[in-house]
Amino acid sequence: MGNSKLKALAESVIANKYVDDVSSEKKKEEKRVVNPEVLDKDFKVDEKLENIFAEAKNAKYECSGTVYIDGEIKEALNIIKIKCNVDMSNLVSYILENWLLSNKEQLQQLLKRSNKFF
C-alpha cells in the first residue's frame, strides 16, 4: 500500500519544517499551520501513491467519529491534504480500513466479535 513511502513523506515534511508557528487567541495555545510559500508546487508523487490518494478521495466514508492522533502526524496529513487535494478524514479512514482488512484474521481472534470489517 505504500506505507514506507507515506512514512518517508511524513518524515520529510517534519524534518524540513514546512510549518510556521502561530498563536491562537481563542485557545491561547500554540498552533502549527502550513506555510504555503514553502511547499514545492512541482513535487509529484509516484503512481502508486497517487492511486492511493485517488482511491481515498473517491471512497465514501461516513467520517462521523473522532480519532485523536499525534500532532506531528496531523501536521504531515495536513500537508498531504493541501498538496494532493485529498480530504484528511477520507485518507485516514482509507488507511485504517486497509490496515483492518489486512489484519482481519488476527483482529477477529482478538475481538471475538464482528463488525463490517470482520
Segment 11-38, tens digit of pLDDT: 665 665 444 444 334 443 444 454 555 5
45: pLDDT strictly greater than 50: yes
Q: How confident is the model at residue 76 (pLDDT cuts 50, 70, 90)?
A: very high
* Residue corresponding to grid cell 485517488: 54
Output the pLDDT for position 20: 45
β-pair partners for 34: 19
Query: Which one has a higher pLDDT value, 42 or 38?
Result: 42
Span 54-76, average pLDDT:
92
Query: Within 10 Å of residue 60's Cβ, how many Cβ atoms?
Result: 7
E strand spans, 1-118: 19-23, 30-34
3-state helix, strand, coil in the chain (%, to 5): 55, 10, 35
Ranking 2-11, 33-42, 55-64 by mean pLDDT, the lowest is 33-42
Contacts of 53 (CB under 8 A, 6+ apart): 45, 80, 84, 86, 91
Residue type, 89: S
Share the mean pLDDT of the chain.
75
Q: Is 66 helix (H, G, I), strand (E, B) or coil?
A: coil
C-alpha gyration radius of the chain = 16
Closest CA to 22 of 11, 9, 31: 31
Query: Which one has a higher pLDDT value, 101 or 14?
Result: 101
Residue 32 φ/ψ, nearest 5 degrees? -115, 130
72: pLDDT strictly greater than 90: yes
Query: Which one has a higher pLDDT value, 17 or 79?
Result: 79
